[in-house]
Structure 1
Amino acid sequence: MSLVKKVIYLYSPSGAVRDRAAFKRGVRRLTELGYDVEVDQDALTRFERFAGDDATRIRAVERAANSGADVALITRGGYGITRVIDRLPYTSIASAIENGTQFVGISDFTALQLALFAQTGARTWAGPALCEGFGVGGVSGEIPDDIMEDCFADLLMGQGEGTGWRQDRNGHISETDFVIEDATLWGGNLTVLTSLIGTPYFPDIREGILFLEDVAEHPYRIERMLAQLMRSGVLARQQAIVLGQFSAYKLTSHDSGFGLPKVIGWLRNQLNIPVYTNLPYGHVPTKVLLPFGLKVDLTSSGKDVLLYWGHH
């Protein structure tokens, strides 16, 4: 790592930090990794279920954009960005990104990523949040995932070039090599993304690669949202769909065998583009960082998929 310490600015644009112990563990872990950590003045503010009222959270985003940090990292997701999506300082955020501040987050952060790209074309990173990524532990005894931390370090050092993974049996299996070139990578949380369809904050991306994940959503709800994306024409305009991790849902006897594999099979039958599975990204410990809005290439062979952007 560079002799000059990288600066991480922590701010809360969405839900209130509920687990302050996880917040403290996350700050401590980032410090142990050699980063300088700056905490926004309202990072631990609470108003109802939010990290402050709407005006407070907008100002937090403005301070993150003006921080000059290497990374502006959200403390947690939850809900809150879509409430203020028409009042966020997009020009300031885009200028900060142009000057070297990388905006990183997951979950509700998808709304900011979509809106920012739609309004300015600025690129962000899908990755961890402080509490769920760097702040794990406590009675669970977990430690932050090493792949996630390595990907985060690669971003800060400008060394990230791509990611590869092996699909599960529900994915697109290529008998011969399959290649996609110069496609815009975009996506994020399925629920948040679907909620912005038909608004000025949903980018019109064509010939892209769309990645999706979600947490605590039953497969029938996942299918319903995918159907909305499909019937609004979004999916057909892409070159590939990449499904990440869909975690923390429960099936019941009423489902009678209807689960996520059935949803994926249904989706594949509806589309004439490949649907890849098992991307290591989502509300799970092991997650890669993905460049939202960057041109990428994808190659697949059998179950193996490689997504890379270093040459861009």
Structure 2
Amino acid sequence: MAHIYIFSPSSAVRDKAAFRRGVRRLQAMGHEVELDPAVLASHMRFAGDDATRMAAIGRAAASAADIALISRGGYGLTRILPGLPYKAMARAIERGTHFVGLSDFTALNLSMLTRTGQITWQGPALGEDFGPASAPDDIMQACFDDLLAGQGEGAGWQLPATEAVIQTRVRDAVLWGGNLTVLCSMLGTPFFPAIDKGVLFLEDVGEHPYRIERMLTQLLHAGVLSRQKALLLGQFTQFKPVPGHDKGFKLATVVEWLRRQIKVPVLTGLPFGHVPTKVLLPVGARVDLVTEGRDALMVWGHV
């Protein structure tokens, strides 16, 4: 049985039914679920005002939980990055707490890496992944269980059959990344990691391919992409195409364009993003990455 602390560092929880289902499911798995006192707080669109959410992160760090799991993403972390309790979170991680989340949580992942060098995780959120009306995804659940058991050592996936095979070999590179929009919003700030020769992974939701290309262009012109050993593209979902205007411009167009701009391998199909099937990824861990035909394997060992 694990101790899981649920906190809300970003947007307010609006789907209370999914929240309750998520808590019940974790409890049914035998876990001790502790709810932050402000987990359901609401201030405008946020889960409490800035001070409330910073205090919640501090309580998560002090909880001695095995996993500190966000209730949901949304927006709110970038505006409080200067005030986060980095030393307390670093001590919590050293004692064995894993901070887990995605989407807006990318801001915490990257700022923690910049300020402390400690590993935090991109993974599920309570409502989105443990609280849907259907059962949680088996792969997500297995990866979550592996983290709890200290057994997660890597992630594998198959590259899409529609793309040419790209043979890739990367050794001992820092894994970093997360939500593309959040990551781009941190560029040029003291919270953006200066990672050279890393493995950068990206995902997003609700962003049309032209917006994805525009953000990738920003990273390209800033020199971020060319400094990496590999770029992994996860799932880009829930956008609305404009058939009468796009004229064939789609996500595959963006990928093809990107590969012409940089010599870095660009691998797609990573099972991560705002989708049910997602792996857990340790931001800041050193990884090896290899492809054999269409099979891709990324290994970080025990972290």
**In the alignment, which of 244, 262, 270 is matched to residue 234 of structure 2?**
244
Shift of residue 172 of structure 1?
5.8
Shift of residue 154 of structure 1?
0.1
Cα distance in 2 for partners of 1:132, 1:79 equals 15
Cα distance in 2 for partners of 1:167, 1:31 equals 36
Change (3 A) 1:81 1:238: same
TM-score (normalizing by structure 2) = 0.98
- Which residue number in structure 1 is paired with residue 298 of structure 2? 307
Matches within 5 A, 1:280-299: 280-299=271-290
Stretches of structure 1 lacking an aligned partner (at least 5 in a row): none
Partner deviation per Cα, 1:170-197 (whole Å, 9 max, x = no partner): 65613xx532110000000000000000
Shift of residue 169 of structure 1?
4.2
Aligned length: 302
Cα distance in 1 for partners of 2:38, 2:143 equals 28
**In the alignment, which of 270, 277, 282 is matched to residue 279 of structure 1?**
270
Does 1:150 pair with 2:142? yes
- Which residue number in structure 1 is paired with residue 26 of structure 2? 30
Cα distance in 2 for partners of 1:171, 1:227 equals 22
Cα distance in 2 for partners of 1:193, 1:61 equals 20
Shift of residue 304 of structure 1?
1.4
TM-score (normalizing by structure 1) = 0.95
Cα distance in 2 for partners of 1:117, 1:170 equals 35
Cα distance in 2 for partners of 1:86, 1:171 equals 42
Cα distance in 2 for partners of 1:194, 1:281 equals 18
Change (3 A) 1:169 1:286: same
Partner deviation per Cα, 1:217-237 (whole Å, 9 max, x = no partner): 000000000000011010011
Counterpart residue type for residue 258 of structure 1: F
Shift of residue 22 of structure 1?
0.3
Cα distance in 1 for partners of 2:254, 2:169 equals 25
Counterpart residue type for residue 150 of structure 1: A
- Which residue number in structure 1 is paired with residue 160 of structure 2? 168
**In the alignment, which of 252, 256, 259 is matched to residue 261 of structure 1?**
252
Stretches of structure 2 lacking an aligned partner (at least 5 in a row): none
Root-mean-square deviation over aligned CA pairs: 1.0
Cα distance in 1 for partners of 2:239, 2:168 equals 32
Cα distance in 1 for partners of 2:109, 2:239 equals 25
Partner deviation per Cα, 1:11-52 (whole Å, 9 max, x = no partner): 000000010000000000101111110000000000000000
**In the alignment, which of 202, 224, 230 is matched to residue 234 of structure 1?**
224
- Which residue number in structure 2 is paired with residue 187 of structure 1? 177
Cα distance in 2 for partners of 1:277, 1:45 equals 38
Counterpart residue type for residue 122 of structure 2: A
- Which residue number in structure 2 is paired with residue 199 of structure 1? 189
Runs ≥4 residues deviating over 4 A: 169-172
Counterpart residue type for residue 238 of structure 2: A
Cα distance in 2 for partners of 1:202, 1:86 equals 12
Cα distance in 1 for partners of 2:280, 2:302 equals 17
Counterpart residue type for residue 177 of structure 2: G
Cα distance in 2 for partners of 1:278, 1:179 equals 17
Shift of residue 123 of structure 1?
0.5
SS in structure 2 of the partner of residue 85 of structure 1: helix
Does 1:135 pair with 2:128? no
Contact kept? 1:70, 1:102, Cα under 8 Å: yes
Contact kept? 1:170, 1:264, Cα under 8 Å: no
Contact kept? 1:210, 1:242, Cα under 8 Å: yes
Change (3 A) 1:227 1:171: farther
